[in-house]
Amino acid sequence: MAKRTFRVWRGDASGGDFQTFHPEVGEGMVVLDVLHQIQAKEAGDLAIRWNCKAGKCGSCSVEINGRPRLSCMTRMNTFGADETITVQPVKTFPVIKDLVCDVSWNYQQNKRIKPFKPKPLGPDGKRRMYQEDVNRVQEFRKCIECFLCQDVCHVIRDRDRKDKFVGPRFMIRLAGLEMHPLDDEDRIPEIKKEFGSGLCNITRCCTEVCPEHINITDNGIIPLKERVVDRYYDPLKIIGRKLFGIRKRT
Ligand code: SF4
Ligand code: SF4
Ligand code: FES
């Protein structure tokens, strides 16, 4: 066991500040273990959100030394022996108390997305899809809704354009639906307009912080942007559609 220095943000929507603690840290501990120890021994009213402690529920998102991370998956041995560890709530969403934020804006975005609409049955009365198409959308299904990508995206973090851009988490939900081989819905107009695909300038910050290693930008957002360009800006395709009729899906 060794004493470490932790600076933990304490406060609520009206303001707050960092409080310093010196917990005993043992081998194998993660940041969430240390926060629990602080809660048990020094600050019983410290608010922390967590559930699984296994990197699967997406609840324990915080910023640790300035980087968005899951506290249950951040091992203490990733820091230097004398390094001060600073833990604060994710910046992009309003604080409720201490390390707990109100992430309900994300659930409102989710509700705006048109759900899966199955294609009609084939002539043999069945629906079929190829394994490679399944593999393609499987990646997006790994999302644990930790919202770390939402936290780091500069469009909603620094520019506060929550009114114009749904953020990377919902771009990959849209990608998962749009690329689903059996989906028959058309979401390209909303992706361009209400969901604001044009505001993403593919900096890949979201991909860098995703704990599920989803290639958000290259596999999700860029293909959606390409579909928007095909639909609205490709002159040959526009003429083709005018001459031969509108093709809904891209
Ligand atoms: S790549 Fe796009 S969605 Fe991801 S962080 Fe950058 S601007 Fe945001
Ligand atoms: S895409 Fe990755 S970073 Fe974003 S919410 Fe899902 S799991 Fe978290
Ligand atoms: S507690 Fe579930 S992801 Fe960390």
Q: What is the three-state SS of 110-151? A: HHHCCCCCECCCCCCCCCCCCHHHHHHHHHHHHCCCCCHHHH
**Rounded mean pLDDT, 181-188:** 96
Residue 244 banded pLDDT, cuts 50, 70, 90 = low
Q: Identify which ligand lies nearest to the alpha carbon of 106.
A: 2
**pLDDT(233) > 90:** no
How many angstroms does the Cα of residue 168 sit away from the middle of ligand 1? 6
44 burial (CB, 10 Å; 0-12 / 13-18 / 19+) is exposed
160, pLDDT greater than 60 = yes
Q: Is the CB of 202 under 6 A from ligand 1?
A: yes
According to DSSP, the residues that pair with 185 across neighbouring strands are none
Indicate if ligand 3 lies below 6 Å from the C-beta of 51: yes
Q: Which helix (H) or strand (E) holds 155?
A: helix 154-157
Q: Which amino acid, one-letter code, is at 99?
A: L
209 lines ligand 1 (CB under 6 A): no
Q: Is the pLDDT reported for residue 246 higher than 70?
A: no
Q: How far apart are CA 146 and CA 206, in angstroms?
A: 12
Nearest CA to ligand 1 atom 2: 200
Q: Residue 249 above 60 pLDDT?
A: no
Question: What pLDDT score does 242 carry?
Answer: 67
Q: Name the phi and psi angles at 85, rounded to 5.
A: -105, 120
pLDDT computed for residue 95 by the predictor: 98
Q: What is the pLDDT of residue 67?
A: 96
pLDDT tens string 52-74: 999 999 999 999 999 999 999 99
pLDDT in tens, 100-158: 999 999 999 999 999 999 999 999 999 999 999 999 999 999 999 999 999 999 999 99
Ligand nearest to the CA of 54: 3
Q: Relative to the CA of 57, which ligand 3 atom is closest?
A: 2
CA distance 105 to 90: 14
The pLDDT, as a whole number, for residue 234 is: 74
pLDDT over 90 at 250, yes or no: no
Reported as a single tens digit per residue, the pLDDT across 5-24 is 999 999 999 999 999 999 99
Over residues 148-170, the mean pLDDT reads: 95
Q: Give me the chain's average pLDDT, please.
A: 94
Show the tokens assigned to 237: 């395709």
**pTM (two decimals):** 0.92
- Give the per-residue pLDDT at 248: 53
End-to-end CA distance of the chain: 58
Mutating to test ligand 1, I would choose from 203, 219, 224 the residue with most ligand atoms within 8 A of its C-beta, which is: 203
